[in-house]
Amino acid sequence: MMDEVLEYLQPVPGGLYIDGTLGGGGHTAAILERSAPDGKVLGIDTDQLALDRVGARLVEFVESGRLILAHGNFSDLAQIVKQTGFGAGHPLQGVLLDLGFSSDQMDTPERGFSFGADGPLDMRLDQSLPLTAADIVNGASEQELADIFWRYGDESRSRQLARRIVHMRTQSEFTHTAQLAALMAAGVPRKPGAIHPATRAFQALRIAVNHELESLEKVMPQIVDILEGDKKPLQGEIENQSATETSRAGRMVIISFHSLEDRIVKEFTRREAKDCICPPRLPVCMCGHKARLHILTNKPVVPGELEIEQNPRARSAKLRAAEIAINS
């Protein structure tokens, strides 16, 4: 959803932006182009291999100082910004999160994300994480597995799959994606065009391994804090940037691919767009909460038919955007 990202993020020359999910670097490259000649991007990713690839691809921006790369989880956004000194003394214009994972990760069997080609049952975006998908599949109880498949994958066969796994692993541990996918597909008739029977359960395992929902909940308030800054106009101007641009309200753009992710983003932005979040039964406001956000997308923006045709993996994408409320 490149066009939609640029439409809502609105990069400007000299602007400062954070791409918290660098991935293949496509969005970062477009932001750098739109913010030329001196806009900067802090690119963050939990996957060191992704950082290495983007660093080689966009080496000219790295060498010029316009692209700063940082290894870490976006759930630690405030800490990473502080450690890198990104935008110190200047307001940031935008933060982007694309919560999908890149084709490089999906299409590399050794990472264990896909059952299209056999690979180790890993699924870690950050290879330093201690727990793999194999650890969960072989170590979690039947109830824990069923809960993971149901909560994170909306898998209607969650109990059945959990029961099968627990039974089969007494004979042999699960170590590879094809092995697990075969168990999940056994006895399930496939209709033309239907998703693979293992799709939802694999998605659920990936979310569990990488703590994706917890990371999203943790980062949302940090994004607002970072974009708000001290709310004071700059003393002077960033070089080659107008006063209007430097005082523009910061924007957040988030693309999700799962209903639970989208719900977290929707509920957070709606809450932060209200002046009062007290329970309806209270006759007067007791919370003192003030709106910090202005919602730009009342409904999620979804990819068009042409993009879905060219990239079927984009079919479940939902984009939501908001900007800092100037008077908050």
Q: Which two tokens stand for residue 47?
A: 């996957």
CA distance 38 to 253: 21
**Portions of the chain given CATH number 1.10.150.170:** 104-210
105: annotated binding-site residue?
yes
Residue showing tokens 């991007």: 41
Q: Is 74 part of any known ligand binding site?
A: yes
- Helix H or strand E encompassing 14: none
Give mean pLDDT in consecutive 10-residue pieces for the chain, a chain of 328 residues: 95 97 95 97 94 96 97 96 92 94 71 83 91 96 97 94 96 95 88 84 94 96 90 40 56 95 96 88 84 95 88 87 85
Residue 10: predicted pLDDT: 96
Contact assessment for residue 110 and residue 132, using Cβ atoms and an 8 Å cutoff: no
The answer to whether the annotation marks 167 as part of a ligand binding site is no
CA atoms within 13 A on the CB side of 120: 7
Would you state the pLDDT for residue 247? 54
- What fold characterizes domain 2-103+212-324? Rossmann fold (3.40.50)
98 assigned ligand-binding residue? yes
Residues of the chain within CATH 3.40.50.150 domain(s) are 2-103+212-324
Predicted TM-score (pTM) of this structure? 0.87
SS3 content of the chain, % helix, strand, coil (to 5): 45, 10, 45
Angle ∠(36,39,41) on CA atoms, nearest 5: 120
Phi, psi of 125 (to 5 degrees): -70, -40
26 marked among binding-site residues: yes
Question: In CATH, what class is 104-210?
Answer: mainly alpha
